[in-house]
């Protein structure tokens, strides 16, 4: 396992450090492919990448997941979120960024085609990740097979409740999603995970220091050769600084 852990003094510093990591790894690739996570944790990264869009090569992207049953035009579909938070701010070509087809008539076939599209693109160079308080990655809930592929999953009650803030009510939150599997995520050349706040502390500690188990999906990070974990706001609180080097990444904004 090769994990670098950085603890930043603020979300902005978290984004700065994450952008440095992502840009360095993408620069080594001729036709770079970025794996895109949604949610609040990666937003500081995308904000800094937008400021440094001139440093980006022509970039292709694949989103981690999509709700099942929401049309692409729905404001809370990840098609719309990725367009709003990543494609437009970074100036990417919308045709070069793929999101799973949650409106497909045959979602299982859509999942297989998404896997094939990632392979055809040459794989994902840098996969951005967040983590759920129950240790999930993407929509891989506890119990997901560590070698799972893109597929339809049922969302747990806790995940639906966490996402209800984006919808008029809990009953409007979809019950299923299409998600890249843990096996799919592990095939990315580099993983960059961001987490903020004390609610994520126990999940981070379990993922990095506990056993590798489907009960903690993010524990698959321990099986990957190039992982950077960036934390702020107490997300590092349950880690032992003697075992993991926690680097304060507070710096003046350069762009």
| Active site residue ranges | 65, 134, 136, 141
How far apart, in whole angstroms, are the C-alpha atoms of residue 196 and residue 81?
Answer: 20
Q: Tell me the two tokens of residue 102.
A: 């949650």
How far apart, in whole angstroms, are the C-alpha atoms of residue 64 and residue 236?
Answer: 24
Beta bridge partners of 67: 177
Long-range contacts of 136-140 (CB under 8 A, 24+ apart): 136/217, 136/218, 137/182, 137/185, 137/217, 137/218, 137/220, 138/37, 138/64, 138/65, 138/179, 138/180, 138/185, 139/64, 139/65, 139/177, 139/179, 140/179, 140/181, 140/182, 140/185, 140/217
């Amino acid at each position: 396992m090769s994990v670098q852990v950085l603890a930043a003094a603020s979300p902005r510093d978290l984004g700065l450090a994450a952008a440095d990591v992502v840009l360095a790894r993408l620069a080594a690739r001729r036709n770079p492919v970025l794996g895109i996570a949604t949610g609040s944790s990666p937003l500081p990264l995308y904000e800094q990448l937008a400021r440094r869009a001139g440093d980006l090569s022509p970039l292709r992207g694949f989103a981690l997941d999509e709700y099942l049953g929401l049309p692409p035009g729905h404001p809370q579909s990840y098609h719309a979120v990725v367009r709003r938070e990543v494609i437009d701010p970074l100036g990417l070509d919308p045709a070069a960024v793929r999101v799973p087809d949650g409106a497909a008539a045959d979602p299982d076939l859509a999942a297989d085609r998404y896997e094939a599209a990632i392979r055809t693109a040459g794989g994902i160079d840098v996969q951005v990740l967040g983590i759920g308080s129950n240790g999930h990655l993407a929509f891989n809930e506890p119990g997901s097979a560590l070698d799972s592929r893109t597929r339809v999953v049922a969302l747990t009650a806790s995940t639906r409740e966490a996402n209800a803030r984006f919808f008029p009510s809990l009953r409007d939150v979809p019950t299923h999603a299409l998600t890249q599997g843990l096996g799919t995520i592990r095939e990315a050349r580099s993983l960059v995970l961001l987490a903020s706040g004390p609610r994520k502390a126990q999940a981070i500690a379990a993922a990095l220091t506990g056993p590798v188990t489907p009960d903690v999906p993010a524990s698959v990070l321990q099986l990957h050769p190039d992982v950077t974990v960036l934390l702020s706001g107490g997300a590092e609180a349950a880690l032992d600084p003697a075992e993991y080097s926690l680097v304060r990444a507070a710096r003046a904004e350069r762009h």
